[in-house]
């Protein structure tokens, strides 16, 4: 999500992916775009779903702590996920398929999408699995199966498919547009000071959660919703219900559409 201009430049360079693949062949696969996206998304979901579990599950010290704690936890999860992704070899730190798609629209290069998306989805699944393990004694103490599902994935406060898609599109478009603004020359000629970018993006996600997140739970990230939903369906969580697959397309296609539209705007605005 960070170093916006560097990522776009990298996407325009056909040799960028080849370079990372060559590094992988040399044994440096643990410092690559794929592994960086995998680890960053794992940490994002581990901490993000973790705060949902802490607030939702019974006998947790954080039980019923509320929306402010959830939005703050997710903001810090993004901050940590971005830094981990960068440290492990993904300087752009997308950790979100909608951001990857937006950058592809901006640059006109789509070749690396499978690399990013596969890493992000698998990272999200592993992060959710770790949350399940971490809170192992609490699942059987929580009687509500819907509450258990809400630890893993989003659901609308009011079921209205058209409005729910619009909410996810708007939230994701704001995410992409403001990230583009943060790293634009109009805000700072040389971009944010080193190390400041992750904090600004984390603050942005906090703001989105507080202002726009209360309608659908603000997935704004298809991997963050789909990966944990798959884990919920697969793992033997005590007393769980269904995984609400009828709603699942909304937090996938809504963010992707919002990211693509925002990418088009950034493309023509030349930020």
How far is residue 248's CA from residue 112's CA, in Å, rounded to a whole number?
25
pLDDT at 22 over 60: no
Could you read off the pLDDT of 74-126 as tens digits, one per residue? 999 999 999 999 999 999 999 999 999 999 999 999 999 999 999 999 999 99
CATH of the domain at 166: 1.20.1080.10
**CB-side neighbour CA atoms (13 Å) of 10:** 20
Residue 220: domain span: 4-269
How far is residue 55's CA from residue 42's CA, in Å, rounded to a whole number?
20
Q: How many structural domains comprise the chain?
A: 1
Neighbouring C-beta atoms of residue 27, cutoff 10 Å? 8
Could you read off the pLDDT of 205-232 as tens digits, one per residue? 999 999 999 999 999 999 999 999 999 9
Q: Is the separation of the CB atoms in 241 and 146 below 8 Å? A: yes
Alpha-carbon distance values, 130 to 104, 109, 224, 263, 269 (Å): 31, 34, 14, 33, 41
- The predicted structure's pLDDT at residue 27: 54
- The predicted structure's pLDDT at residue 21: 45
């Amino acid at each position: 999500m960070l170093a916006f201009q560097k990522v776009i430049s990298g996407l325009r360079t056909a040799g960028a992916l080849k370079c990372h693949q060559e590094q992988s062949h040399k044994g440096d696969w643990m410092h690559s775009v794929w592994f960086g996206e995998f680890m960053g998304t794992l940490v994002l979901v581990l901490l993000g779903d973790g705060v949902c579990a802490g607030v939702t599950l019974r006998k947790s010290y954080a039980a019923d702590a509320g929306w402010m704690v959830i939005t703050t936890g997710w903001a810090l999860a993004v901050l940590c996920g971005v830094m981990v992704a960068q440290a492990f070899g993904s300087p752009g730190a997308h950790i979100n398929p909608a951001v990857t798609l937006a950058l592809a629209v901006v640059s006109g290069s789509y070749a690396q999408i499978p690399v990013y998306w596969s890493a992000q989805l698998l990272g999200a699944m592993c992060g959710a699995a770790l949350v399940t393990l971490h809170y192992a004694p609490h699942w059987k103490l929580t009687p509500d199966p819907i509450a258990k599902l809400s630890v893993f994935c989003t659901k609308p406060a009011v079921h209205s498919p058209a409005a729910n898609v619009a909410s996810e599109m708007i939230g994701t478009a704001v995410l992409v547009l403001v990230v583009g603004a943060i790293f634009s020359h109009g805000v700072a000629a040389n971009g944010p000071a080193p190390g400041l970018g992750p904090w600004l993006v984390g603050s942005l996600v906090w703001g989105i959660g507080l202002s726009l997140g209360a309608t659908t739970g603000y997935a704004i990230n298809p991997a963050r919703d789909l990966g944990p939903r798959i884990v919920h369906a697969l793992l033997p969580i005590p007393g769980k219900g269904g995984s609400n697959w009828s709603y699942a397309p909304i937090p996938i296609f809504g963010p992707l559409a919002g990211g693509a539209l925002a990418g088009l705007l950034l493309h023509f605005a030349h930020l």
